[in-house]
Amino acid sequence: MTPLAAAANENLAEISNYLVYSSMAVYTLAFFAHIAEWTFGSRSKVARTAAALTGTAGAAAPAVQVRGKGGATAVLDRPKVTTRSGAGTRDVPDGPGAAGGTVQGDLYGRIAVSLTALAFLVEAAGVVTRALSVERAPWGNMYEFSITFSTVAVGTYLVLLALKKNVRWLGLILVTTVLLDLGIAVTWLYTDSDQLVPALHSYWLWIHVSTAIFCGAVFYLGAAGAVLYLFRDSYEAKLAGGGKPGRIASSVLERLPSAASLDKFSYRINAAVFPLWTFTIIAGAIWAGDAWGRYWGWDPKEVWSFVTWVAYACYLHARATAGWKGRKAAYLALFAFACWIWNYYGVNILLSGKHSYAGV
**What whole-number distance in Å separates Cα of residue 131 and Cα of residue 263?**
38
Q: Is residue 6 very low, low, confident or very high in pLDDT (cuts 50, 70, 90)?
A: low
pLDDT of residue 1: 40
Query: In the prediction, which pLDDT does 79 show?
Result: 38
Question: What pLDDT, on a 0 to 100 scale, did the predictor assign at position 310?
Answer: 97
**Mean pLDDT value of segment 64-86:** 42
Nearest by Cα to 258 from 93, 53, 47, 46? 93
pLDDT score at 65? 43
Given a cut of 60, whether residue 59 has pLDDT beyond it is no
Highest mean pLDDT among 75-79, 80-84, 113-117: 113-117
Quickly state the pLDDT bin for 360 (edges 50, 70, 90): low
Domain boundary assignment for the chain:
10-42+96-195, 198-360
pLDDT value at 18 more than 60: yes
* 67 pLDDT higher than 60: no
* Confidence (pLDDT) at 158: 97
Is the pLDDT assigned to residue 233 strictly greater than 60? yes
Query: Tens digits of per-residue pLDDT, 259-284?
Result: 999 999 999 999 999 999 999 999 99
Rounded to the nearest integer, the mean pLDDT of the chain is 84
What is residue 353's predicted lDDT score, i.e. its pLDDT? 62
Kindly state the average pLDDT of the residues 324-338: 92
**What residues pair up with 65 in beta bridges, in sequence order?**
75
Residue 283 CA to residue 289 CA, distance in Å, equals: 10
Q: Give CB contacts under 8 A, 24+ apart, made by 347-352.
A: 347/300, 347/301, 347/304, 348/142, 348/301, 351/300, 352/300
pLDDT tier, 228 (very low <50, low <70, confident <90, very high otherwise): very high
Query: How many of the other CB atoms lie within 10 Å of CB of 291?
Result: 16
Q: Give 43's pLDDT tier (boundaries 50, 70, 90).
A: low
Segment among 31-35, 38-42, 81-85 with least mean pLDDT: 81-85
Closest CA to 20 of 180, 115, 116, 127: 127
114-124 mean pLDDT: 98
Identify the burial level of 68 via C-beta atoms within 10 angstroms of its C-beta, where 0-12 means exposed, 13-18 middle and 19 or more buried: exposed
What are the phi and psi torsion angles at 66 (to 5°)?
-120, 125
- The 10s digit of each residue's pLDDT in 346-356 is 888 887 666 65
- Confidence (pTM): 0.84
